[in-house]
Structure formats: structure tokens, C-alpha cells
Amino acid sequence: MNVLAKRLIRFPALLMALALAAPPVGPATAQSPHTRDHSFGDSEKWAKVFDDPKRDAWQKPHEVIRALAPKPDAVIADIGSGTGYFSMRFAHMVPKGRVYAVDTEPDMVKYLAERAKREGLGNVTAVKAAPGDPRLPEKADLIILVDVFHHVEDRERYFGRLRDSLKPGGRLAIIDFRMDSPEGPPKAARIAPAQVKAELKRAGYTLDREHGFLPNQYFLVFRTANS
């Protein structure tokens, strides 16, 4: 894994939270530049935003996981995991596997570890990532980035390096906001799915599947070109 924008590396979950918390009348301001200076020490507060049941209506987490259909012993890396919205759900689906909930914000990593323990999910490992390095302890069957791709800088190099973190036949799932979505970052910050496909092709991936059931986001699944 290579270079992320420093503000994303430090505040990946915060940016998601602000997107989710934005009022419907002004979604374009949800992830404006001033967020980089926002304090992110109160993980309990942000958990109420990340894990708000209202998010389920458009994020459709169970449908996403069902579409990915991980095997019970799969190793999954959730990069930019925040408070574990997807990580904890994946953990229930891979009882013989492992979920690495990756974040660079120390308070989020601490919260993730405590949440996994509280919920009795011994197959979740909270990972404190470094800028440009997810520090995954092992190769993954599935790496997923939800609402993170549009923050990645030097993406071809980043995802080219990320290939080394996938097992043979492993998959990379990208979920991010569509250009016409009423939720998410300013439209100028969004990346069209055609551009995602082109960039990842140059980084050594092939599109394996594209799902269209999310109302606000595209959902693309890739494999490495040589798998």
C-alpha cells in the first residue's frame, strides 16, 4: 500500500462521518477542506454517526457482504475502517477467518479493539496503519475500501503496491460515491467509475464484477491481472 493524502491518512473515518452527518440540503459541504483540522478524539461520539442505523438504508451492508460472499475462513482487510461499520459485520461472516480493521487514527484503532472485545469477536484485529502502509500482518483474500478511493493520491502506484497484499486470486472491492449522489463529498472531489477502472487497469487489475444495487455509490470488484 502506498501514498494516501495526509489528511485522509489521519482522518479517514472522520471524513466518512462528516459525509454521513451532512444535512440533506447541503451534502456538497460534507467533506470540505476545513475537516482536516477537526478533532477526532471522541470515538464514542463518532460511532453514533458511523453506525447510525439510518445509514443502512443506503449503504446496504448486508447486501454488500452477500455480494462479496467471503468464505468462512477468508482473510479480509477493511482499509479506512473507522469504528468498524463493515469490519464487525464481516467478522460474523468469516468465523474461521480474520478481519483486519485498518485505520491510522489511534483513537479509532483503540475503539475498534475494544469494540471487538466487547462484542466477542476474536477474529477482528485492529491495525494501526502508517502513512502509505496498511501494515497488514498477512495477505488478504479481500481488501475493501469504502468511500476512500477518491482520497488516495498517486493511485496507480498506491494500488500497484497494494497488489502485494492480496493472496493469489484475491479481490479488491471499491465502493465510492457516484457523481450524481446526493450524499458524499463535493462533486469536484468525486471520481467517476470509468476513471477508477482505467486507473486500476494501469495498476495491474482487471474488473471482475460490477454491482448496481447501491443507490448512492458504485461498487466495483477487481482481481489482479495475473490471477
Handedness of CA 198, 12, 140, 138 (dihedral sign): positive
CA dihedral 178, 184, 190, 191 (to 10 degrees): -40
Q: Would you tell me the crossing angle of helices 43-50 and 106-118 to the nearest 10 degrees?
A: 70
- Helix (H, G, I), strand (E, B), or coil: what is residue 38? coil
The reported pLDDT for the residue numbered 101 is 97
Cα 51 to Cα 209: distance, rounded to the nearest angstrom? 27
C-alpha span between 91 and 172 (Å, rounded): 18
* Closest residue by Cα to residue 49 from 74, 85, 76: 85
Residue 115 amino acid letter: R
- pLDDT for 134 equals 86
Higher pLDDT, 5 or 214: 214
Give 87-140 pLDDT, tens digit per residue: 999 999 999 999 999 988 898 899 999 999 999 999 999 999 877 788 899 999
pLDDT of residue 179: 96
Question: Cα–chain-centroid distance for residue 161?
Answer: 17
- Domains in the chain (CATH in brackets) are 6-24+34-224 (3.40.50.150)
How far CA 225 is from CA of 4, 26, 191, 202, 210, in Å, comes to 23, 40, 22, 10, 16
pLDDT at residue 153 in the model:
77
Could you read off the pLDDT of 156-203 as tens digits, one per residue? 988 999 999 999 999 999 999 999 999 888 999 999 999 999 999 999
Task: Give the three cell numbers for residue 188.
Answer: 469536484
Can you read off the three cell numbers belonging to residue 140?
488478504
pLDDT digit string, tens, across residues 42-52: 556 556 666 77
- pLDDT tens for each residue of 31-86: 222 233 344 455 565 566 667 778 999 999 999 999 999 999 999 999 989 889 99
CA distance 213 to 216: 9
Q: What pLDDT is attached to residue 73?
A: 98
Cα–Cα distances (Å) from 109 to 17, 147, 213, in that order, read: 16, 18, 30
The Cα–Cα gap between 172 and 190 comes to 19
The pTM is what? Answer: 0.81
Query: Residue 34 contacts by C-beta under 8 Å, 6 or more apart in sequence?
Result: none
Phi/psi-derived region of residue 204, left when phi > 0, alpha when psi is between -120 and 50, beta in every other case: left
- Let me know how long the chain is: 227
